[in-house]
Chains A and B, each alone.
Chain A
């Protein structure tokens, strides 16, 4: 029964001086869900990319089903029954589900026949695994949860027996994540093997059979999930004890620093996403906005930071009003002391093609410190970047490295370092720890609390309820574009959950 689906033996992989994988040995048992955890940059994605044929190992052996395998391209991996669901979906947005599923696997020169065949096959898969998606829906019109299902269908359609999921829940709402796990369990029951990479230790505990921990390129431990604990895993990952919930003293809230007034925002299709909300953030407090993703939080953040035009509303920054409906300029808000860590670090907060040091001035590039007249002061910029790298422990510590080559958690630290080191009066942060490992979460949370204790006003938006609860001094719950309730940090998860689901809406609106 305990037969290995995949064995990795002595895998090594370096990128220049960075040893992303060293001497990795890993055995994945057929018909199980195998979790892989580890800090940002530990080499998890690299290892899976080797298995999927994106990278070639420098040395080492891969065995699939007991047989030595040579996997040079993703096609080789697919032929061996290995499928991968990427975190950033690789779907053609304006194709239908069906067209995406058969793309590259068309069985016939004439599309018509492929499609008929695919349709029945797809229907069978959907029935068998509870993966319902309308085959004729256009991808861009589907929510992310369903798009991910299409990725899974794509892999299964190509005959995947082994499915790799790299941080699949990072972009999902809690309900979508639950559904995904039901699907994964069903796949397991049908005998498929699943490799799951995630930073959320809770998910590991909930669904995996075995869990392996990576640290700085090495495989440090493999445990049976039911014989381990979250604390033990966190410690194995980071190499020291981790505070899963940071300690903080009482807030000493001062004057109102940021006041949002009557903010209404519509999306590009004219749907009202934020519906006339008002709230204050005081100096020395952290206000957390809780809510299921898609209830207007993103639009609210974008409007407050000047990226998106509001239909109505204004912000008072430090007592001075700024209209958000006109040509609100993020640069002006920034000059007035509003720093913004955006939710989408890949497309908004960073330019991935830039060197690290170039990103560490993004938005502050017109600051005198970084300029000599119209010229960039390259030395000043790089020294400044190096300081931040040291202070925020950004790895690898190379300010000339292309930003795309940093791992997700380190990219987040680059953004945080930039925004926090400007010493802003108000800091607004979207999803502070999305895709970030436990050690870095602890670090980021400590930093946010330190900002608060210095008397800054901090606004945090997160879909992670745990995070909101452990950080916030006041919690505002958003539902359908409105603030439906305010609670203190002692609010229970159940209570907040009900508010987030809009259940208590009537009473709370009073």
Chain B
């Protein structure tokens, strides 16, 4: 309450500030590019071109975005309940186990449209289960959820190694991964949608789980703002005392919110496994769970913002890969630096430019800006 921040009009809050943050991230990244002796403008052009220039790029951007939507939603659901779920990575990874088992069991007997719902359930259930244990420990024992979810990321990684070099692996194979799924566990591509607009796509993994991600974004919106459960979660997220007063059980709401969060994190595993590689391999989540934190922050914990932020990060992944290919001086690691800068400015330093923008608005039109600073002070 006491932060002396003025209230901005919504368009500035949700539009202007993210754009400024992004612009600054790109300017700083530009200097890094300059440092290695490349032309930052050309680099930017390559990046955007790579992500959106051709149908191929767009398909890849949306493919990456799909995973980030799930992980961003996962972080947001927990955050609305005042919980910081850093365990999306592990929850997504362990979901691969459920997906693997379902796909290996049914891909030869069922068509994809029957395997897919089963796999969704398995992924969500595994993710939820993996979130349940830290949630239970937080609710009943007060073990901090940030610590326990991080630890569960490591445990998930070990369990997956165990499973992938053990029972999930075909007997005669050396590679720590499942066999390739048959057609009954391969998700249909959505590339044709992009091709409708006249673009050409050689091959890209953009698939139907993107639609599932959009559906989940809508459902999360409904959950948070239109259901009794969401109301209880938000109440607890804002004030645990008010929640207690309102008769909301602390243990119950923590556990439910974390399980929903874990289920969403689990679903992110569908995209790279059934949608792209058609197997479950080591490390297939590759950091997407952590990117979800930045996506959720940048998207202001709102599903619409999260979808947009996920597409932005999809663009960075896809455009970045293209950039590393086109400009050899810019290595793969440089791309990670640029992504890091975006996370830094858009996520971690989200409030850095806010006071200046507010001061600017205040001097332009004092009327539109009311500080929240001392609100309630005189009460």
Instruction: Mark A residues whose CB is within 8 Å of B.
Output: 14-16, 44-45, 48-49, 54-58, 74, 86-88, 90, 166-167, 197, 305-307, 329-332, 334, 340, 342, 344-354, 358, 362-363, 365-366, 371, 374-376, 378, 404-405, 407-409, 411, 435
Contacts and interface: CB of A to CB of B under 8 A. Distances in A.
Contacts of B244: 307, 330, 348
A365 B231 contact: yes
B337 interface: no
B242 interface: yes
B367 interface: yes
Contacts of A374: 227-229
A475 to B, nearest CB: 27
Contact of A330 (B2, B231, B247, B373): B247
A331 B239 contact: no
Contacts of B229: 374
A348 B377 contact: no
A197 B231 contact: no
22 contacts: A45-B374, A45-B377, A48-B378, A49-B371, A55-B370, A87-B377, A88-B377, A166-B378, A305-B245, A330-B247, A348-B244, A352-B1, A352-B376, A354-B235, A363-B246, A365-B246, A366-B228, A366-B247, A375-B226, A378-B226, A407-B378, A409-B379
A405 B377 CA distance: 11
Contact of A365 (B2, B228, B377, B378): B228
Given A362-B235, A375-B227, A348 B245 contact: yes
Contacts of B248: 331
B242 A404 contact: no
Given A54-B4, A374-B229, A378-B226, A49 B247 contact: no
Contacts of A14: 367
B375 interface: yes
A411 B373 contact: no
A58 B366 contact: yes
A337 to B, nearest CB: 14
Contact of B239 (A55, A56, A332, A347): A347
B332 interface: no
Nearest to A331: B247
A87 B235 contact: no
A371 B376 contact: no
Given A166-B377, A344-B241, A351-B234, 10 more contacts: A49-B377, A86-B374, A166-B378, A329-B247, A330-B244, A348-B239, A350-B242, A351-B235, A376-B227, A376-B231
A213 B362 CA distance: 29
A435 B371 contact: no
Contact of A408 (B238, B371, B379): B379
Contacts of A305: 245
Contacts of B239: 347-348, 351
B232 interface: yes
Contacts of B232: 365
Nearest to A42: B378
Contacts of B374: 45, 49, 54, 86
A348 B244 CA distance: 8
Contacts of A350: 242
Given A56-B362, A374-B228, A86 B377 contact: yes
A275 B241 CA distance: 24
B245 A371 contact: no
B281 to A, nearest CB: 38
Contacts of A49: 371, 373-374, 377
A358 B377 CA distance: 22
B373 A404 contact: no
Nearest to B230: A376
Contact of A57 (B234, B366, B372): B366
Identify which of B1, B4, B228, B378 gathers the most chain A CB atoms within 10 Å of its CB: B378
Interface string B67-92: 00000000000000000000000000
Top 8 A-B pairs ranked by shortest CB distance?
A331-B247, A408-B379, A45-B378, A363-B246, A15-B370, A330-B247, A351-B238, A56-B366
A55 B367 CA distance: 10
A250 to B, nearest CB: 34
B136 to A, nearest CB: 17
Contacts of B234: 351, 354
B89 to A, nearest CB: 29
Contact of A346 (B249, B373, B376): B376
Most chain A CB inside 10 Å of its own CB: which residue of B244, B247, B249: B247
